[in-house]
Each structure stands twice: as structure tokens, then as C-alpha cells.
Structure 1
Amino acid sequence: MVGIRDVARRASVSPGTVSRVLNNDPTLSVAETTKDRIYAAIKELNYDIDKRKYVKRRLPSIGVITTTSKQKELDDPYFNALRIGLEQEARRLHLGLNRVYNLEDNPKTWQDFDKLGAIIIVGTVPETAVKRLSKQNSNIVVIDNPDINQEVDMVYADFDRMTKRVLQLFLEKGHQRIGYIGGYNIDIDEDGEKIYNENEKRLRAYQEFMTSNGLTSQVKLGLWEPLEGKRMMDEWLAEAQELPTAILVGSDPLSVGVYRSLQSANIAIGQDIEIASFDDIEIAEFLTPSLTTVHISAGEIAKAAVRLAKERIEEERQEPVIMTFPSKLVVRESFIPKS
């Protein structure tokens, strides 16, 4: 029996394009020659349009579920870059992006996702929630949660590799007392309930590295905010008999607080203690001393997620794709690796 994929192969287009042409999708922009080629393939293959299997039509639109609040998206440069990247790529590809759930704000019942073309999840949503969501719509792309064991597309930065690379550079510089300041991993379910845990990518990589090199872990965890960075560093200064000589900080906003604490204690960053961080937000370059940090292409990660969603919408593939985006260390004054 001739199917829509047979027509697509004969016409050298995707099955999604054939479907949208036959459904007179007003948002589809293809050349008339392409349409002629599709209808010619239908005639050659004797494909019965009227008796074709009914498939619920999905709109060329993407829903976004994000674990952050709207305010945090504005305040946090990383999440802000993700949102901008999603919006820019959706516009470029003529995809709607008009349903956004900010789980920290006012979670609503997850429904009608079966009418959307795909769903992009930003942040750590519990795997059970992803499984329930996939019953409504199997076209799911997850950003920044590589631990999901579902048949979904995933896009994330290579935090594990870069964490261990920076720690190796600390070690090569002669540091043995290497500390870590970071935030808890926060899973948020569809009811807005937060689950705090220590299963965070950078922390996990730090602990693995320290163990494998016979070094003692020194860790402080809190929320991912500048004031928390100051609080945790203040605690370290008050409690520790011997401070770390190098600290890896989980994010640049946390580093801002760490800087304030150390500078208030007259500890010279880059001399008495070396610091490296993650994000490479704008302020990193203008701290004193300037902050060595890992640059993460948040906007490009988001754009890749939209492209994967489009492939799912247009039925270009069935197998899940996992994309790891490379990061790079931007060396500044707070930590200069041994040459």
C-alpha cells in the first residue's frame, strides 16, 4: 500500500511537507514547482488522497516548559540568552512559540499539548513528568538535562568535560586544596513543586575528579544567586582553618558574591586564591580582577533545540538525537593556567 513516505521519497521532500501541502497549510512556504512535483508523485504512485490514514494534524508551533520564573529569565543572563535564542530561531523557521509555562510562577494543568507540533523543556523536570508529557506529545526536546532516560531529543553544554578540564588546570598549577561553590540541582514538577538535590552536573564532575586524584572535596552549596555566593564564601572564611587555594564556582553570578566576600576579607583574588567559573556573562570581564570563566553558547543551544523540534514536526526522522555543545575557557586575571 502506498503511503505518504513513498510520495515524499518520489518527490524528494520530507513527509511533513507532503502532509502540509495536502492539508493546505497556510503557513507553509514552498515553491509551486515543489507542489507540482508532489502532485505528480501522487499521480504516478496512484496514492489515494481521500482514503489516506487520518492523522491528527499538529500545528507548526512549539510549546516551552521552563523551570525558571519570568523574572529569573530577565535577571539571569544564561536563561535570558536561552529564551532569546528560542524566539529568534522560531521566527526564522516560521514556527509559533506562543505557549510558555514558567513553572516557578503559576503552574497550570498540562493539557492540549497534543495540538502542538513539539515541546521544548528547559531545565530539570523530573523524568516521571517527562514520561507523562510524552503521552500527549512525543515530539520533545530537552535542554540542559542529559540525565533523562526517555526517547527524546536532548541538547546541553559539555559541563562534565569542562569542569574536569578546569580542575586539571588547577592541579597542573600546583593546587591540591581545590574547593567548589555551586547551587543545588532543582527539579520542578508540573505542579510547581521544587525538589532540591545534589545531582548537579558540575558538582558531580568535581567530586568524581577529586576522588580519582586522591584529593579531599571541599564543597559549599546554596541557591544560584550572587548573595548566596557571598554567604557561602563568608561561611568558609569563618569556619575553615585552611582555605582552598583555588575555587571552581558553578556560575558567574555566584562568583560576583564570592568576589565581594573575599575582597572584604582583603584576600587577593588571582594571588592568594585563584578562581574560575562558568557562563562568561558580560560582567565577568569587568570584575576586578577579571574573571576566568567557561563560555557557554546558550543562544546556540536554544536554536539547535528549535531545529530539532522542527525536524520532529515535519517527520524528518524518528530516532532521538543528542547534541552536546562545546564550551571554551576564557582566561582572565583570576586564574591563569600554567603555560
Structure 2
Amino acid sequence: MATLKDIAQKAGVSTSTVSRVLNYDASLSVGEETKKKIFEVAEELEYKSKKRVTKKMKGKLAIVNWYSEAEELQDVYYMSIRLGAEKRAKALGYDYYRVYKQNDFIEETDLGGILAIGKFSQNQVKQLQSHKVPLCFVDYLPQEEVDSVVVNFKKAMRRNVDYLLEKGHTKIGFIGGEESFSDGTGQWVDPREKFVRDYLKRKKLYHETYFFKGAFRVEDGKRNMLRALETLEEENRPTAFIAANDAIAIGCLKALYEKNVKVPEDISIIGFNDISTAKYITPALTTEKVYTEEMGMSGINLLQERIEEGRDVSKTVILSTKRIEREST
């Protein structure tokens, strides 16, 4: 595992700066470029080196991100997917360029394929399809017949509920997120919330007042945990919360620390994604690991099959997850 010192040395900053950035310290005054460098180095040091394969260039790949560069720093999940995709593209001999939120023009000249990372509306999907090149979505399954790489959310969320039940928790809450498509045509509905809700109903343990929702950001996780502490009486509040992502979970931990609520003695927290910062938070975050590097690599592999092998049947890759148990449960 990479240490804070390793990250600091490669990023060219102090160890204390790395620690405060990875802990989302709002009082730290550093530039966005410095933050971006630290997050990218932290993600890169998690990757295992892979043998490079030299391939003849088949045109450029456009890596389209539904997040802006600034939003990537609030939730490095998508940055991790992007870095995995870029590493795989480079290893296969493809040139690539980044497009953020479809605000940048996708170059038509020598365009070999498009990798779309994140959530896209039907209109945006059609717009991407209009380029008439191989197209793959990562972390999203459109209604259209296209290639995609997704996570088995249902299995993961049921496993987390069962894990908490085994630890003796019967009052389980959920803090989720909601996001809108960047073109303003609607909202993306997170299946994790539905799967937790349905599974708790099956177990006859569901309480509507235990569910909260905001954005997929640290500050919203903190805000919703504070709401839970304020609106639910101590004897009736959940003894464990599942967060829809690690950024939300980190915000929850900050709120609990602020209110002197002990973790995991009073309330346990489980995150989702296992972003590189999860292990550096205090207490270290128990979370469901999503193999983000593999997601990005799989997306590039699907594009390669289309470009070099001529595959014309749509394919969906579903990746499993793994719980990483640390100090927050």
C-alpha cells in the first residue's frame, strides 16, 4: 500500500498537505491543480504495473467524462476509472484525448472510438452515437443497444446489509445521492438505494425515516448525517448507515466526529467504491471495493474488439465488488 510519504514525494508536496487533501480538509488553502495532482498520484500508486503491448495506431479515442475536472476532485471515483482507461489505451498503442461534460468538441478527424464515463441522458447517448464510431459506456447501462461496463450493485448492497445484520445491527440507515444529467433533461436514479430499501423490506427492517439523500459529495454526506442526528432520537436512530459512495461516507464520519459520536461503537459506517482516500481517513473506512481500474480497462478492451476485430454484437461486462473491512464497522 502506498504511504502518505510516497504520495507526497511523487506529488512534490509535504506529507501534511497530502493528509489534509485526502481527508477533504475544508480549511486547507491549496490550489485545484495541487489537489488534482495529489488525487491522481494517490490513484496511480494503487495500480499494478502491466506489461505494455505495442499496437499499430487505429485512430484517436475520445474519453468523454460526464464530470468536469473540478467535480472529479469531489469524487475521485470517476478519475480512477479514467486513469485506468487511459493506461489501457496507452498500453494498446492508442492515442486519446479527454472531453469533459461534452462541453468540448469531439474531434471527427481520425476518431477511432468513444469511451463515455458516467451517466448520460438519452439525448446525449444519441449524440454520441451520431459520430458513427465504436462506443462504450462505463458505469452506465443505456437503454440503447451499446457496449457497457457496469457494477453488480444488487449483489453488493445485499452483502452489505447481511454483513451489518451479522454484526448485530437491526436499525440500518442509508445516505444516498442524486444527480442530474448534464444537459438538464432529467435525473439519474441510483439503483443502490432501491436495492437496500427492497432488501430491508424483505427483512422487515425498513424505516423510511432512516433514508436520506443529497449529492454524492463530502459536504452532503456530512449535512445528511447531521440531519439524522438532529431529527432521530438517540434510542430510535440507526446504529449503522450504508453510504452510496465513499465521499458521502467521509462526510458522515466528519459529522459524527463533530458531534462526538463514536465510530463504530455508537454508529457504524460503510462506504462504496474504495477510493484511494478511504484508507487514510480516521477512522479508516470500511467500504465495498469497486475495481475502477478494471472498469476503465474493460471499456477500452470492448472498444478494441469493435475497432480491431469488427465485433458488431453489443456486449455488457458486469464486474463484481469486494468488501474491504476497516475501522468504521
TM bucket by the smaller chain? 0.7 to 0.9
Q: Which residue of 2 aligns with 1:60?
A: 59
Deviation readout 1:88-125 (Å, 9 max, x if unpaired): 11111111212x3211xx72566738x52211111110
Q: Give the Cα–Cα distance (whole angstroms) in 1 for the partners of residues 56 and 107 of structure 2.
A: 29
Q: Which residue of 1 aligns with 2:224?
A: 232
1:131 pairs with 121, 126, 133, which one?
126
Deviation readout 1:105-164 (Å, 9 max, x if unpaired): x72566738x52211111110123213432332521000013x12111111222221111
Q: Please tell me whether the aligned partners of residues 138 and 152 of structure 1 are also in contact (alpha carbons under 8 angstroms).
A: no
Q: Which residue of 2 aligns with 1:212?
A: 202
SS in structure 2 of the partner of residue 165 of structure 1: helix
Q: Which residue of 2 aligns with 1:196?
A: 187
Q: Which residue of 2 aligns with 1:91?
A: 90
Q: Please tell me whether the aligned partners of residues 121 and 143 of structure 1 are also in contact (alpha carbons under 8 angstroms).
A: yes
Q: Larger radius of gyration, structure 1 or 2?
A: 1
1:157 pairs with 147, 151, 159, which one?
151
Q: Which residue of 2 aligns with 1:7?
A: none
Q: Which residue of 1 aligns with 2:69?
A: 70
Cα 1:107/1:283, change in 2 over 3 Å = closer
Q: Give the Cα–Cα distance (whole angstroms) in 1 for the partners of residues 120 and 155 of structure 2.
A: 23
Q: Please tell me whether the aligned partners of residues 249 and 255 of structure 1 are also in contact (alpha carbons under 8 angstroms).
A: yes
Q: Please tell me whether the aligned partners of residues 219 and 251 of structure 2 are also in contact (alpha carbons under 8 angstroms).
A: yes
Aligned length: 272
Q: Give the Cα–Cα distance (whole angstroms) in 2 for the partners of residues 108 and 263 of structure 1.
A: 41
> Please, what TM-score do these two structures have when normalized by structure 2?
0.76
Q: Give the Cα–Cα distance (whole angstroms) in 1 for the partners of residues 60 and 202 of structure 2.
A: 46
The alignment-based identity, stated in percent, is 28
Tell me how far 1:28 sits from its aligned partner.
6.2
Q: Please tell me whether the aligned partners of residues 121 and 185 of structure 2 are also in contact (alpha carbons under 8 angstroms).
A: no
Cα 1:281/1:187, change in 2 over 3 Å = same
Tell me how far 1:256 sits from its aligned partner.
1.7
Q: In the alignment, residue 165 of structure 2 is paired with which amino acid?
A: L
Q: Please tell me whether the aligned partners of residues 115 and 138 of structure 2 are also in contact (alpha carbons under 8 angstroms).
A: yes
Cα 1:74/1:232, change in 2 over 3 Å = closer
Q: Give the Cα–Cα distance (whole angstroms) in 2 for the partners of residues 185 and 154 of structure 1.
A: 20
Superposition map of 1:23-34 within 5 A: 29=56
Cα 1:71/1:285, change in 2 over 3 Å = same
Q: Give the Cα–Cα distance (whole angstroms) in 2 for the partners of residues 74 and 234 of structure 1.
A: 23
SS in structure 1 of the partner of residue 279 of structure 2: helix
Q: Give the Cα–Cα distance (whole angstroms) in 1 for the partners of residues 56 and 95 of structure 2.
A: 15
SS in structure 2 of the partner of residue 268 of structure 1: coil
Tell me how far 1:323 sits from its aligned partner.
0.7
RMSD between aligned alpha carbons? 2.3
Tell me how far 1:248 sits from its aligned partner.
0.2
Residue 161 of structure 2 corresponds to residue 167 of structure 1: yes
Q: Give the Cα–Cα distance (whole angstroms) in 1 for the partners of residues 194 and 181 of structure 2.
A: 16
Q: Give the Cα–Cα distance (whole angstroms) in 2 for the partners of residues 211 and 334 of structure 1.
A: 25
Q: Give the Cα–Cα distance (whole angstroms) in 1 for the partners of residues 181 and 202 of structure 2.
A: 28
Q: Give the Cα–Cα distance (whole angstroms) in 2 for the partners of residues 145 and 270 of structure 1.
A: 33
Unmatched 5+ residue regions in structure 1? 1-26, 31-58
SS in structure 2 of the partner of residue 283 of structure 1: coil
Q: Please tell me whether the aligned partners of residues 180 and 220 of structure 1 are also in contact (alpha carbons under 8 angstroms).
A: yes
Superposition map of 1:239-278 within 5 A: 239-241=231-233, 242-278=236-272
Q: In the alignment, residue 276 of structure 1 is paired with which amino acid?
A: I
> Please, what TM-score do these two structures have when normalized by structure 1?
0.74
SS in structure 1 of the partner of residue 288 of structure 2: strand
SS in structure 2 of the partner of residue 282 of structure 1: coil
SS in structure 2 of the partner of residue 248 of structure 1: strand
